[in-house]
Structure 1
């Protein structure tokens, strides 16, 4: 595998970096049981996973702590899950040890003196990401977006999906107006008709599709998306605790395989009511999307080639000022112990 073999070289999700400050910055990775002579316990700071997914189940039933106990580690749930950009800042500021995000957001974050590396890869979502339009919009092809406003999150999945869709149809990017919005603030704008379309991923598309008033103009598979989901680890943490990183990978892989087999068991983990819960058509859609997804895997040479294609595309589209060397920011988890 073409990857950096040394961990000594400089490697779900937060709504905002400020959400972490109450938990303190920096701090020790280990805690010693005073007076017992026990070996230090490693604490892994992970964003609170909310109400769905493998980490939500791991938090509820204690299975993640059980897996980490085998390498003398435990979890501290810190902040809350959200976009990768603020999570990357928290990793760089030593306020977080683990976070999940897309390769697209990862590339833009890697352009800013990163203090993290990626150690897992999940293949691009074939059905849950894409460009949403209203059913009665009259927009029936990517070409129909010319002269229209499309909401995207800057430098992340949304901007990538829009640019990729336009490039596939040889449509110059400047012919479509990009409206930069945070994904968690876009639904109201989209539903009010203030934008004509929304380039988005499953975290937000499921709710819109569940309402029955929106549809995908194109999805990720149609446009050949290389938008992987990745797990990042703070570089210093990985250097100091490779066995913990390996244990985290093992847990994420095994749990994600089970999630694909029984998606419903990983929804509404802590509550089936309120804004975090899914019900009705949205729940059915999420179960379908999850079942069509892929499990967490180690990063392979094939993955790296596709990562590099995204980095090259971002440079060509001037999302980044230069092509980011992805291989310098990856860990081969299969070599860890």
Structure 2
């Protein structure tokens, strides 16, 4: 993705402004502002999942730059739990236990199909290189058509299921032409490497280690699949309504830091340690930096993005992942109009 691509300036009127957020605050299960209320000195606490050992938030945690940026608007971070699948994070936001989370539009749609207490406020373009259908070297699977009759691991209702269904649809293969094996992403590597499934529909977080091992590759990546799987940042609706300046400051930080990460991906790897299970080393490090350099930056949500979100929602309904087509546009925040 071209790093010099202009920001998505023209936001649709349908995007939520701060006043429009008031109409949505009853949609979630959260009550008051809870742990995010002002403490000593009026400081607002922002609850964000711990970022682990790599990425923009990890570096921001280590060098204090994120707290510095938020401190300018009277806020600070409380790291809560750990980053992972979006579905449980969405539930935590609904329950007033979390204020910010990151997820894909695909997992976001299935969470929006419930009773959402969150809205999305940024978008990162689909990862054309870092997600796809992973197969073991020497498996004999050379095309998507070769998956017919085989077992493919996916995370239910999220990126994995979307990538598989999208790849099959593009190849003209019925969804029931392969056996979907529903597994949590963090439990799939052992199953995949043991040969208990033939392929794994997955994204960079988990694909990097497998490709870096030199024993697996994508039979089809995001480009080949035609993926519209954006990465999004979500904010608890009540929090955005009560602290719009904090949400704006967080957006600015993420946008600027993601552009820096794209220019120098290696600086955002192994932030706290370069050894152990959370470290990215060897060939895997080369794979990860390559994916990041080709990836997008954190930007506002624009009209062209919303059109693609709608396409994903329609596809999910068509594939019966959701009962009906989810109205994603009703749960988007116009960060540039937030007052």
Short-chain TM bin? over 0.9
Q: Deviations over 1:80-126 (max 9, x none)?
A: 11110110110001000000000000000000100000000000001
Which residue in 2 is equivalent to 1:154? 156
> SS at 1:179's partner residue?
strand
Aligned counterpart in structure 2 of residue 329 of structure 1, from 328, 331, 339: 331
CA distance, structure 2, for counterparts of residue 79 and residue 56 of structure 1? 14
> SS at 1:166's partner residue?
helix
Which residue in 1 is equivalent to 2:16? 4
Corresponding pairs, count:
319
Aligned counterpart in structure 1 of residue 91 of structure 2, from 84, 89, 92: 89
Measured after TM superposition, the shift of residue 32 of structure 1 is 3.4
Measured after TM superposition, the shift of residue 139 of structure 1 is 0.6
Which residue in 2 is equivalent to 1:31? 38
CA distance, structure 1, for counterparts of residue 82 and residue 141 of structure 2? 36
CA distance, structure 1, for counterparts of residue 297 and residue 107 of structure 2? 20
CA distance, structure 2, for counterparts of residue 287 and residue 222 of structure 1? 21
Q: Deviations over 1:207-231 (max 9, x none)?
A: 0001111010000011110000000
CA distance, structure 2, for counterparts of residue 193 and residue 292 of structure 1? 30
| Contact 1:26–1:95 (8 Å) recurs in 2 | no
Aligned counterpart in structure 2 of residue 287 of structure 1, from 289, 299, 315: 289
| Contact 1:119–1:230 (8 Å) recurs in 2 | yes
Which aligned pairs between 1:120-199 and structure 2 lie closer than 5 A? 120-199=122-201
Measured after TM superposition, the shift of residue 26 of structure 1 is 7.3
CA distance, structure 2, for counterparts of residue 280 and residue 113 of structure 1? 43
CA distance, structure 1, for counterparts of residue 16 and residue 279 of structure 2? 41
Measured after TM superposition, the shift of residue 4 of structure 1 is 2.9
Which residue in 1 is equivalent to 2:110? 108
> SS at 1:222's partner residue?
helix
Which residue in 1 is equivalent to 2:270? 268
Q: Which moved more, 1:90-99 or 1:2-11?
A: 2-11
| Contact 1:50–1:56 (8 Å) recurs in 2 | yes
| Contact 2:33–2:238 (8 Å) recurs in 1 | no
With normalisation by structure 1, the TM-score equals 0.93
Q: Deviations over 1:142-182 (max 9, x none)?
A: 11111000000000000000000000011100111000000
Measured after TM superposition, the shift of residue 336 of structure 1 is 1.8
Which residue in 1 is equivalent to 2:319? 317
CA distance, structure 1, for counterparts of residue 137 and residue 289 of structure 2? 22
Q: Deviations over 1:33-90 (max 9, x none)?
A: 2xxxx4x111000000000000000000000000001110010000011110110110
Measured after TM superposition, the shift of residue 135 of structure 1 is 1.1
Which residue in 2 is equivalent to 1:228? 230
Structure 2, unmatched stretches of 5+, are 1-10, 26-31
CA distance, structure 2, for counterparts of residue 9 and residue 213 of structure 1? 51
Which residue in 1 is equivalent to 2:5? none
With normalisation by structure 2, the TM-score equals 0.92
CA distance, structure 2, for counterparts of residue 71 and residue 296 of structure 1? 20
Q: 1:181 to 1:26 in 2, by over 3 A?
A: farther
Structure 1, unmatched stretches of 5+, are 12-24
Measured after TM superposition, the shift of residue 29 of structure 1 is 1.6
CA distance, structure 2, for counterparts of residue 28 and residue 195 of structure 1? 43
